[in-house]
Structure 1
Amino acid sequence: MLYEYGHIGILVIIALIFPLGAVVTSWALQFVRIRPKSRPDLVRDDIYECGLRTEGPSLVQFNFRYYYIALLFVLLDVEIIFLFPWALVFDAVGWVGYGKGLLFIATFIIGGIYAWRKRALEWRL
């Protein structure tokens, strides 16, 4: 069992060595004065957008509804991803698999009805 998970452990160690090594190297080079300490600068801290000067405030609040619609889209895409293999083996799963698939679809339908009744899907300005 250790042999099977040893490969994963080695990959985790390698995955931790690279970012930690970069941070430790940067920290060490600061003391040798190869990497100078960072000083605040108005030009360097300014937001850069394709070489153009930023117009207006840099922190603009976006409407939450955009993210909400995007999350609903991702949720429905994930539902389709789970339903696709079920449809491929539909003949082999029998009545139990058919019932589980219907339960999965019913959960989304009930959630959609709930969201509709709570008016969560309306776009109000």
Structure 2
Amino acid sequence: MYQSPTSLTDNQTVLDALNRCVAACELCATACLQEEHVQHMVGCIAIDRDCADICALTARLVARGSVHAKHIMRECIEVCQLCQNECAKHNDPHCQQCAAACKACVEACRAWNS
């Protein structure tokens, strides 16, 4: 069962934040794989990948007006917070950029889901 999608402009802020988060997480995971001591980045890489996937799924559900978007959005917020926390532990610019994108995504998702 699907709801009629709202206008794209109504969802643009959250869609932009979700898509920026996907890109930041993918970039971070790829950059972490290039690190000299990659074994220290395993947790970061894993949560980056999970976060990118849940954000991409959430964006698709929001865009199509799925009744499941709000439910999945709650999980997305949780995963983004975990990713933000993990990336914030690392001083690498790509991790800091990812943490910032995750934080912005959490804020946009909370605003949309309220």
TM-score (norm 1): 0.32
Computing the radius of gyration over CA atoms, which structure comes out larger, 1 or 2? Answer: 1
Q: Which of 1 and 2 has higher RCO (CA within 8 Å, sep 6+)?
A: 2
Which structure is higher in helix share? Answer: 2
